[in-house]
Amino acid sequence: MKMLTQTCSRGLSNYHMISMAISLSHSTLCVPSFSFKKQCHRSFTISTPFSSLSSSALSSKKLCQKLQPVVSALEIGGVRIGKDDVVRDDPTNNVPDSIFSKLGLQLHRRDQHPIGILKNAIYNYFDANYSAKFVKFDDLCPIVSTKANFDDVLVPADHVSRSYNDTYYIDAQTVLRCHTSAHQAELLRRGNTHFLVTGDVYRRDSIDSTHYPVFHQMEGVRVFSPNEWEASGMDATTYAAEDLKKCLEGLARHLFGAVEMRWVDTYFPFTNPSFELEIYFQEKWLEVLGCGVMEQEILKRSGNLDKVAWAFGLGLERLAMVLFEIPDIRLFWSSDERFTSQFSKGQLGVKFKPFSKFPPCYKDMSFWISDSFTENNLCEIVRAVAGDLVEEVQLIDNFTNKKGMTSHCYRIAYRSMERSLTDEEINQLQGNVREEVQSKLNVVLR
Ligand code: PHE
């Protein structure tokens, strides 16, 4: 399931086009998973600085204190986090080893990595246009309380993003942040009025070339005082919405040059009105960010009663895939020199040259599902067995027989971006996937 894209209907009638010419390729925003646009239903997902944590997030606070980066990890731009702190054999924990291994890698803090290069280019835009007024946070701990991740930004109790199917839980009150909005309330409480938060976010999800369970977001928040909108003659909300759109249109031009864009009305629990910005790329409209005027309740609770604010959240992988023409999201995690050596500090938009295209190998598997079956659980198992050798997991057949039993057939595409895979290796992987699926998912293989 795509995050901001596929779910939810769009208020297409309400968008307005911003004319500008050309250039740009494709993109997708909040790459993985569920959408905050959904109004509700089903169950739940994440961030905080290592140095400053939400007072409400007591258990996550303790954890993060324990998880202070150690010097050796900092040397490689990472953070050391104890595995026992994150992965536990407990029903309230659903974090697999594969996710633990990504924690603290902090691609967004590497100046020579496409994600870090993009972050710096966005910083440059804000510094140049707002006289460096935006305070930047990029080392907030991704382990946060459910309060920070959901409650503080008004995510309803029955919202899909809260489910164990969609979010990684460390325990019932602690998650890996599923969005950088998890830091909004805390930073507002601390008196910040202009800030950018960049970080890794985590979502359980399907598998394809634009979805990965860890990706990066940048959150932006700007708070206005009454004197700012009063002089304009506009009401506070209109003033903030117009300022927000102007800011983000400018950012899109800064990153992409002349590009066709449009605004689409949408829904987020934490903003009203809410919008998405779409960019025309390779003959498709692609969502690149979600944003809106912050719900007054969030401001009120943070001691900003008479203020108005805007907020946005953008997906860095999606933008970087477009800007650098990176065809598969797994590449961001590659340490293959043929990938890493192609990017350098400050070089935005250097086009990635694929170093190889090895053939994919497809394996199908069919089983009778049970009521508890979910595609995200299947994908987690496939990733646990095959890691980044799995390119896509696709439902290709789905039927229910006369007895009411439902069968699913999934096609798994295996492909390495770095080498040819042998038949033997793939058969072994597929055999292991079948065994794990049978033993863990309560399904009957056919
Ligand atoms: N947190 C939202 C998401 O991840 C994006 C967003 C941020 C939307 C801020 C509005 C305001 O989908």
- Is 28 inside any structural domain? no
The domain boundary, picked from 287, 313, 341, lies at 341
- Is 68 inside any structural domain? no
Task: Give the per-residue pLDDT at 38.
Answer: 62
- With a 6 Å cutoff on the Cβ, whether 27 touches ligand 1 is no
Asked if residue 409 lies in contact with residue 369, where contact means CB atoms within 8 angstroms, the answer is no
Task: Give the per-residue pLDDT at 189.
Answer: 98
330/430 same-domain check: no
- Is 135 inside any structural domain? yes
- Is 154 inside any structural domain? yes
333/374 same-domain check: no
Q: Which of 215, 174, 182 is nearest to 88 (CA)?
A: 174
395/277 same-domain check: no
Q: Rounded to whole angstroms, what are the CA distances from 327 to 319, 321, 322, 331, 430?
A: 12, 7, 9, 8, 25
- Is 275 inside any structural domain? yes
254/382 same-domain check: no
The domain boundary, picked from 308, 341, 374, lies at 341
309/388 same-domain check: no
The two beta strands, 390-400 and 143-145, are: unpaired
Ligand 1: residue of 179, 183, 272 to mutate (most ligand atoms within 8 A of CB) is: 179
- Is 435 inside any structural domain? yes
Atom 9 of ligand 1: nearest residue by CA position: 312
Domain range spanning residue 141? 73-341
Ligand 1: residue of 268, 288, 293 to mutate (most ligand atoms within 8 A of CB) is: 268
281/398 same-domain check: no
**Which 3-state string (H, E, C) describes 325-341?**
CCCCHHHHHCCCHHHHC
- pLDDT tier, 103 (very low <50, low <70, confident <90, very high otherwise): confident
Give the separation between CA 141 and CA 22, rounded to whole angstroms.
39
270/147 same-domain check: yes
326/367 same-domain check: no
Q: What CATH number corresponds to the domain at position 333?
A: 3.30.930.10
In this structure, which amino acid lies at residue 72?
Answer: S
Atom 4 of ligand 1: nearest residue by CA position: 179
Q: Residues in the chain, how many?
A: 446
Give the separation between CA 206 and CA 272, rounded to whole angstroms.
29
Sheet of 444-445, strands arranged across: 390-400, 406-414, 361-368, 444-445
The two beta strands, 174-176 and 143-145, are: antiparallel
**What three-state secondary structure class fits 389?**
helix
- pLDDT tier, 45 (very low <50, low <70, confident <90, very high otherwise): very low
Q: What CATH number corresponds to the domain at position 379?
A: 3.30.70.380
Q: What is the rounded average pLDDT of the residues 304-312? A: 97
The domain boundary, picked from 288, 311, 341, lies at 341
Token digits of residue 287: 């969502």
For 75-139, the DSSP string reads HTT-----HHHH--SSTT----HHHHTTTT--GGG-TTSHHHHHHHHHHHHHHHHTTT-SEEE--
265/382 same-domain check: no
Ligand 1: residue of 155, 200, 270, 299 to mutate (most ligand atoms within 8 A of CB) is: 270
- pLDDT tier, 283 (very low <50, low <70, confident <90, very high otherwise): confident
pLDDT in tens, 11-40: 222 222 332 222 222 222 333 446 787 654
435/312 same-domain check: no
Q: What is the rounded average pLDDT of the residues 40-61? A: 34
Flag whether pLDDT at 61 surpasses 60: no
366/260 same-domain check: no
- Is 10 inside any structural domain? no
- Is 226 inside any structural domain? yes
Q: Count of domains in the chain?
A: 2
286/368 same-domain check: no
The pTM (predicted TM-score) of the whole model is 0.84
